[in-house]
Structure 1
Amino acid sequence: MSPGKIMEPEVSWISPAASAESYAYEGPPRNVAYVENIKFPPELQPKSYDIQGTHPDSQILFLDVSILDATGKLPYRGDVYIKGKHGRSRQRIVSVGDVPNKASLLRNPKIRVFQGRGRTLMPGLGDAHTHFSWNGSNLDRLGGLPLEEHVLLTARSARCYLDSGYTMCFGAASAKDRLDVVVRDGINAGDIPGPRYLANAKEIARTDGELVPGITAYADGPEQFEEVVNRHIDLGADQVKLSMSGEEITEIRSAQDCYYTDEEAAACVRTAHGRGVRLCAHARARDSVRMCVKHGIDVIYHASYIDEEGMNMLEAKKDRHVVAPGLNWLIATLYEAEAFGFPQSKAEQVGYKKELEAAIRGLREMHRRGIVVLPGGDYGFAWTPHGTYARDLGHFKKLLGFTAHEAVIASTFGVAKLFMRSHEMGQIKEGNFADCILVDGDPLKDIDVLQDHDKLNIILINGRVHKAARSEYISPAVASDRDTALIPEDFPEVKASMQKDY
């Protein structure tokens, strides 16, 4: 397939006249190069957590799958071999495409064999804006939810992400100080199911700039911000969230207003980066986006009202920042919240239609300029419920000028780069972690297939089967030389211990 021509818009991207057709593109995915260009400073590398619970002797063989490897290549047919222990590494993909010792592997009854029958094997998905502790209902009640119930809710959300094919999630704020941290540690210990996770703590706001009081940490002035940032890092947060601009649904904090001062933003960056921790920011307003780029806030959420100056600033430093717009929040709040007491007429009145239109124009232009835009839709509200995360990929394709292939790459390789672990996550290739999903369909022809949980036939995390129907373990009589038809009883697995030392 020859590369398509990138069309320059005939009018300024800021103009409402800028059309989707101006950004139409058909060709090889452009954003592999965009993602590879990201170079977060190595001193900001988060801890490289391992997930326990996969037996070192486990082995899995996928036969005849369509391999969508997220490297930019078109899918190709082949086999994939996964081994629990391979040299000094564990839970890794050993062979992709051709498996040299396939005949002998098929004779080994301790190896799980899955017949692909041409289904798509791809990396597990990733979300760049995750709230495990959001309750799918009334955020105003989150601060008062008893801790014990809130821990259970947060763990359930983590499992829901994995059930939805998500194996990487980047925490964007926690409703209580340590909910994210505790659930992350439980996932890594193998105690609860969930994706690989980088945890956050409460979002930090000025006393005149909070969005939801009960789930906010407060600071005023550079010294207080330094103190709160340090406290969150001491709690175990992998990144720190700043709430810099407003949100129209509050009706008192406009999305076009920035509440931080330059001195406060600089203090947060100086403190966090000084301790090797990155920052992310709720930054819808023009001035908050500029402030993020000026001071080096690594992950910019929303960026709805970016202007030409901010766009140029961001483009000049596109190797140091990613944008996660949370697009589904805007769409659902505008068009799908009426059943929950927020009708479209009200959403338009407070400004969501205006913001959505501005955000789409800006995000299309970011993608054209090579700025990395990642999916993550602010899920966990009543009208953006848990389990619907893959809607973001459809929005990227239908609204932002992404091809389906680019949307897949953003949600796999792109989120792995956000983790600063793209060398071992986010692609189906030899040496990478065995985090993958087998999809009954072709996401490049129908991106919405990733929203259908029934089509996510097999889900692996860390080389361990999280989801697979019993029928997946039964080999057709003529499919191979293998004699074993049912699940081997002695397949090596780690059994959950009933007692642990704490």
Structure 2
Amino acid sequence: MTSANTPDQSILFTNVRIFDSTGSDPYEGEVLVEGERIAEVRKGTGDLPREGARVIDGQGKFLMSGLCDAHTHFSWVNSADLPGLGTMGVEEHTLLCARSAQTYIDSGYTMCVGAAAAKPRLDVVIRNAINAGQIPGPRYLANCQEIAVTGGALVKGITAFADGPEEMRKAVRRNVDLGADLVKLSMSGEEITGNQHAEDNYFSDEETLAAVTEAHRRGLRVCSHARSGESVKMSLRNGVDIIYHASFTDEEGLDMLEEQKDRIFVAPGLNWLVATLHDAEAFGYPPEAAEAAGYQHELDCAIEALKKMKERGIRVLPGGDYGFAWTPHGTYARDLQHFVELLEFSPKDTLLAATALGGQIMRMPDDLGQVKAGFYADMILIDGDPLEDITILQDQSKIVGIMKNGAFHKDPGSGQSARPSTLSETHRGTPIPA
């Protein structure tokens, strides 16, 4: 749980290797935290004032910004029965969402972007509780239920429906009224459904433009479940801000992404594809079924497209679709491993995508995602070097310190640790990622 250091207490990290997410290589140094923010960052040791400060001797450990998951579902609760999430009691569901939020921060994630909730207000309630200090969790941008057209829902019971431009405007206004930060459009299919395919597209340009225009008018951003090449291009033609998946992006789509690279973000959610192919057999979906459904083909296409996006300077962020039975909460950093092993990102570029780009997608590029004077003191202290072994971030025990807003969630000096958080599976059935 968060420690009780007072707002005027200074904390000095000394004898640490600082990865500041500015593009520099790690360096030995010190970081002074005053209140909620980083006051100073210095190379070397012994230069920053110690009087009145609590000193944390990092003993050479790795200090970096907290991580960002760019495609978060608090209300997917390790379930293999997404339709059951629609009928679960709201009280029970809220408690499980709170546990999801704690699991994220226990895992070193201090920034998360909501990518749809199973019930209209779940994300908003959890975000507000985190902001009020009632429960532990990351900084969070809340979404509501994803919006689909008739015949285009991946899971009817957790979906809001709208057809035509005027209904899209009304659906967006409902998100505004509920207090959301984002709107999610479910534009393409998903192979595991058996009848709605990843290369389908269900929206029209008119519907997409109406949703985006209304959202932007009211200060909300729009994200899209867009696996098909056409859904990616439709998203780009009409001003969608965050594209999820983008597996079948073609050359025309890549050109459009490059033209808009200073505006758009892509969060592919690779672990869903990998885990569906390799980890789902225990839940009744063996590898041969996943391959027959097209998941290996989609993974191959996604890898090719995402490598090209990296070459073109498009902002690609890790994270996404955790909370299914075979992509359980607490395994979020598997995406970082996939970036290195499948997309051929360097470990350094992967960490930059998970930190500095996180600050950008959170709309706080001058406040979050870097270890830099003036930024919020959202940092993690690691017993090991993720630049040498990116998988170390999958081990909660190696993340020995977690700080958010200048207060320790996991204290490296007192032995106080956040309780490891795991969610037990609650339902079996067929999960469908959104």
TM-score by length of 1: 0.80
Corresponding residue of 2:212: 269
Q: Distance in 1 between matches of 2:213 and 2:332?
A: 33
Q: Choose the corresponding residue for 1:450, options 390, 393, 396.
A: 393
Q: Choose the corresponding residue for 2:67, options 102, 116, 125.
A: 125
Q: Distance in 1 between matches of 2:4 and 2:13?
A: 21
Native 8 Å contact 2:29 2:45 kept in 1: no
Q: Choose the corresponding residue for 1:314, options 250, 257, 273.
A: 257
Q: Say which one has the larger Rg.
A: 1
Distance 1:167 1:218, change over 3 A: same
Deviation at 1:114, TM superposition (A): 1.3
Q: Choose the corresponding residue for 1:323, options 257, 263, 266.
A: 266
Corresponding residue of 2:410: 467
One-letter identity of the residue aligned with 1:386: H
One-letter identity of the residue aligned with 2:59: R
1:171 and 2:114 equivalent?
yes
Deviation at 1:313, TM superposition (A): 1.3
Native 8 Å contact 1:115 1:472 kept in 2: no
Native 8 Å contact 2:30 2:45 kept in 1: no
Native 8 Å contact 1:52 1:189 kept in 2: no
SS at match of 2:59: coil
Output aligned runs, 1:279-290, within 5 Å: 279-290=222-233
Deviation at 1:468, TM superposition (A): 2.3
Deviation at 1:420, TM superposition (A): 1.3
Q: Distance in 1 between matches of 2:48 and 2:177?
A: 52
Corresponding residue of 1:69: 20
Percent identical pairs in the alignment equals 56
Output aligned runs, 1:243-262, within 5 Å: 243-262=186-205
Native 8 Å contact 1:331 1:356 kept in 2: yes
Extract unaligned runs of 5+ from structure 2: 417-434
Q: Choose the corresponding residue for 2:7, options 33, 38, 56.
A: 56
1:231 and 2:174 equivalent?
yes
Deviation at 1:115, TM superposition (A): 1.1
Deviation at 1:279, TM superposition (A): 0.1
Deviation at 1:234, TM superposition (A): 1.2
Q: Distance in 2 between matches of 1:171 and 1:391?
A: 19
Distance 1:364 1:128, change over 3 A: same
One-letter identity of the residue aligned with 2:38: I
Corresponding residue of 1:303: 246
1:93 and 2:38 equivalent?
yes
Q: Distance in 1 between matches of 2:128 and 2:120?
A: 14
Deviation at 1:438, TM superposition (A): 0.3
Deviations 1:4-59 (A, max 9, x none): xxxxxxxxxxxxxxxxxxxxxxxxxxxxxxxxxxxxxxxxxxxxxxx998732222
Q: Distance in 2 between matches of 1:470 and 1:56?
A: 18
Output aligned runs, 1:144-223, within 5 Å: 144-223=87-166
Corresponding residue of 2:426: none
Q: Distance in 2 between matches of 1:182 and 1:310?
A: 36
Output aligned runs, 1:344-359, within 5 Å: 344-359=287-302
Deviation at 1:419, TM superposition (A): 1.1
Deviation at 1:74, TM superposition (A): 0.5
Deviation at 1:470, TM superposition (A): 5.5
Q: Distance in 2 between matches of 1:342 and 1:71?
A: 42
Deviation at 1:316, TM superposition (A): 1.3
One-letter identity of the residue aligned with 1:63: T
Q: Distance in 1 between matches of 2:43 and 2:394?
A: 30
Number of residue pairs aligned between Structure 1 and Structure 2: 414
One-letter identity of the residue aligned with 1:270: T
Deviations 1:251-297 (A, max 9, x none): 11100000001111111111111112110000001110010111110
Q: Distance in 2 between matches of 1:171 and 1:302?
A: 15
One-letter identity of the residue aligned with 1:182: V
Deviations 1:148-189 (A, max 9, x none): 001100011000000000000000001111110011011111
SS at match of 1:443: coil
Distance 1:388 1:189, change over 3 A: same
Q: Choose the corresponding residue for 1:420, options 355, 363, 366.
A: 363
SS at match of 1:256: coil
Distance 1:220 1:52, change over 3 A: farther
Native 8 Å contact 2:32 2:48 kept in 1: no
One-letter identity of the residue aligned with 1:74: D
Deviations 1:187-206 (A, max 9, x none): 11111100000100000001
Q: Distance in 2 between matches of 1:461 and 1:393?
A: 21
Native 8 Å contact 2:28 2:43 kept in 1: no
Q: Distance in 2 between matches of 1:444 and 1:282?
A: 31
Q: Distance in 2 between matches of 1:328 and 1:93?
A: 33
Deviation at 1:401, TM superposition (A): 2.0
Corresponding residue of 1:114: 56
Extract unaligned runs of 5+ from structure 1: 1-50, 85-90, 474-502
Distance 1:52 1:259, change over 3 A: farther
Distance 1:54 1:279, change over 3 A: farther
- Could you say what the CA RMSD is over the residues aligned between the two structures, in angstroms? 1.7
SS at match of 2:322: coil
SS at match of 1:186: helix
Deviation at 1:308, TM superposition (A): 1.1
One-letter identity of the residue aligned with 1:62: F
SS at match of 1:459: strand
Deviations 1:413-463 (A, max 9, x none): 001100110101100010100000000011111111111111000000111
Deviations 1:295-325 (A, max 9, x none): 1101000000111111111111111111000
SS at match of 1:257: coil
Corresponding residue of 2:221: 278
SS at match of 2:96: helix
